[in-house]
Amino acid sequence: MTVFNCQQVLDKATFYLDNEVIEEEKVAIDSHLRECKACAEEYAVEARISSMIISSDWNPISTEDLVQQAMINYMQKRDID
């Protein structure tokens, strides 16, 4: 099983958000983000920058919600495009 450290996870951020990581990397990143708030926050920021999904009803409750919502919005936007 692949395990990434913080640096590796952050290096992969743009690829992950563009869906350009292999399944094994995605799983490793997902599990890291669940346990590492610092990286989860970085991903949330990256997702926001990548997709410009900020809106007036953006109201995250916690870091987990923030990153999860960012991912969901990003994926939905990609689907529409």
User: Could you list the residues that contact Zn ion (CB under 5 A)?
Assistant: 6, 36, 39
**Between 36 and 45, CB nearer to Zn ion:** 36
H or E segment to which residue 6 belongs: helix 6-11
Q: Which of 30, 77 has the CB closer to Zn ion?
A: 30
Q: Where are the alpha helices (DSSP H) in 21-62?
A: 23-35, 37-51
Nearer to Zn ion, 7 or 59 (CB): 7
59: which DSSP letter?
A: -
Rounded least distance, CB 74 to Zn ion, Å: 19
Contact by Cβ (8 Å): 46, 14: yes
CB of 9 to Zn ion, least distance (A): 5
